[in-house]
Structure 1
Amino acid sequence: MKKLLPVILIFFFLPYSTVEAKELSQKEIYDKRMNLYKKTESVSGIPWYYVAAIDQFERSIRYVRKDLPKPNSITGYYLSPQQWAGPLNPNPNDTNPIRIDFFNGKGMDGNGDGKADKNNGEDLLFTLAKYLSQYGMNDQAFRIAIWDYYKRDQTVRSIMTNAKVYRKFNRVDLDDRAFPIPKGYNYTYKNTWGDRRGWGGRRIHEGTDIFAGYGAPVRAVGYGVVELKGWNKYGGWRVGIRDLNNTYHYYAHLNGFSKDLKIGDIVSPGQVIGSVGSSGYGPPGTSGKFPPHLHFGMYKDNGIHEWSFDPYPHLRLWERLERAKR
């Protein structure tokens, strides 16, 4: 029993949200997360989707950054111990709001228990909301607030994407996916990421080619916002969509776009955004230099820089999931 006692005590004093997140189903996590956002809105007046947008952005970059701890709780927003307790605070784990304020720390008590605990979701998101409240409660004020905080244009765009999607659908359980080519159309693909390309200079293939007939519908693979649309000499007519995980989806060599599709539009999984073509490798309108196919690429942004990664495993997974639904 003596040997078990330290283990029991360690488990008991672990942050509640950490243990809780590991024990909950994905649906339960979404429900608790949404409740936490709504509670933050009620005590701060900041719309929940603004808080959720930053929280989700921070969660997404923590999964791919080595200088940040991996998220292990309901919330994703992160402040270092020095930011939370104050850079000169001798106790980086301080929870006393008065001392934290004295040392110019950012941490606040969000649930009224007299503590400012950086491991408590209510305290974390209330601290975030109080920062946002200095600017206002509309999109322009929110945009300025996140620019002042992150000092990076792409980060501002990514967080605004999250806010737009959350506001439209009024929920956070938005992880559905769709394969780019719908059922009923013949297509074929293999792993072509990293292959050498010669046209336009030596470069590698940053995507997977899905060969299909001219005019086959091309669909959005997830929830997101259209960030780019138009012509590129390599990709021809192409569309770029950023999702809630701060992943940029690139659809190229299109034959055309869906009617009325424009930059800033919110899309959902399975929504048709264009059609398969063979455009590209020249000035606007160039087509037919290769067989019709969709070039599908994925790019990850970590809040500092962006890079391409292999979409093939994701395509195979989404394809299997769609077949399972049928």
Structure 2
Amino acid sequence: MMFLFFYPFHVHAEEDIYDERMALFKKTEALTQIPWYYLAAIDNYERNMKNSDEPEQLISIEIMPEIWFGPGNSSLLKDIALIDTFNGKGKDGNGDGIADPGNEEDVLYTMAMILLEYGPSKDEIRIALWNHYNRDLTVQTIMNTSKVFQTFQGINLTDRDFPVAIKHNYSYRNTWGDRRGFGGNRIHEGTDIFASYGVPVHSTTYGVIEMMGWNLYGGWRVGIRDIFNIYHYYAHMSGFSDDIKVGQVVKPGDVIGSVGSTGYGPPGTSGKFPPHLHYGMYKDNGYSEWSFDPYPYLIKWERMAKDKS
């Protein structure tokens, strides 16, 4: 239960905050020609690096003081002319003559201008993100999230689904952290959902398919990176849906494959254990990625799926 704060159970009660964010993203797009969904994805990525116990901010992007104010600007002077003198990158987004890292419009405008140093195209933005964050997974996550936002033309994407079709018989319990022997002594990094061969496997969230294929331990498996900096791992499937591929945007309820018993051997190995779906979740905090217990979320999403059925 120690990781629950990383993936919120509750939707923000005020939808107004999403409208305010979108208005700022669209305004900054109009000023800079940087598509709004890239700015939204950067903001979303940084928000989900933080502890959700902190008060939710309208905009969560943070730019280091030495970058914002410039080397040598030890007094952190906010006048845009002085910041330019010190080769800082802070910009005035709201027209008041100062560049304030505590002002949402200034922050978004500054982030957009940092991207524009490289250009407005997708490839140029990718390069700008790498130079800003210096981390491949961060760039990949932001680009994936921007693709989701662009596809659905919104940022308030809070639907979820259970990973196994609930109209079929299935069973599961909390198996995260159990010992596993195949491949050496290790812990079970997920929850096993037992069901019959061929039961449809659903995407639980909005995201992008990042990985699919064979894995020695997981058999036929799919990995989906969602908009909350979470990697969702679906394993032991009997096969994939014909219409899915790496790089594809998915939404909750999309069928990505079916329950099987593949794995624990070379490609095609099957039947070494009863048919089930292994479902794992991995959190990225901007520095490292690790497994956490999906069981509490599965209980929540199962209830949501049954309420909708």
Aligned to 1:54: 42
Alignment of 1:201-280 (within 5 A): 201-280=184-263
Selected match of 1:317 from 293, 300, 307: 300
Per-residue CA deviation, residues 132-189 of structure 1 (Å, 9 max, x unaligned), is: 1122222111111111111211111111101111111111111211111123111111
Q: Secondary structure at the match of 1:61?
A: coil
CA deviation string 1:277-305 (max 9, x = no partner): 00000010000000100000000111111
Give the match for residue 58 of structure 2.
Answer: 74
Partner of 1:189: 172
- Using the aligned pairs only, state the percent identity: 58
2:14 corresponds in structure 1 to 26
Consecutive unaligned residues in structure 2, runs of 5 or more: 1-11
1:137 aligns with 2:120: yes
Question: 2:30 is matched with which residue: 31, 42, 45?
Answer: 42
Larger % of helix: which? Answer: 1
Q: TM-score, normalised by structure 1?
A: 0.88
Q: Give yes or no for contact 1:223–1:266 (8 Å, CA) kept in 2.
A: yes
Farther off after superposition, 276-285 or 155-164: 155-164
Q: Which of the pair has more CA radius of gyration?
A: 1
Q: Which residue of 2 aligns with 1:167?
A: 150
Other-structure match for 1:20: none
Kindly indicate whether structure 1 or structure 2 has the higher relative contact order, using CA contacts under 8 Å at least 6 residues apart.
2
Q: Is the 8 A contact 1:60 1:246 kept in 2?
A: yes
Query: 2:282 aligns to what?
Result: 299
2:204 maps to amino acid: V
Can you give the 5+ residue segments of structure 1 that lack an aligned partner in the other structure?
A: 1-23
Say whether 1:89 aligns with 2:73: yes
- Asked whether the 8 Å contact 1:108–1:126 carries over to 2, the reply is yes
In the alignment, the residues of structure 1 paired with residue 79 and residue 55 of structure 2 have an alpha-carbon distance, to the nearest angstrom, of 24
Q: Residues of 2 paired with 1:319 and 1:268: CA distance?
A: 16
Give the alignment partner of residue 89 of structure 2, picking from 93, 106, 114: 106
AA aligned to 2:203 is A
Deviation, structure 1 residue 82: 3.7
Q: Is the contact made by 1:158 and 1:242 (CA closer than 8 Å) also made in structure 2?
A: yes
Alignment: residue pair count:
298
1:70 positional shift: 4.8
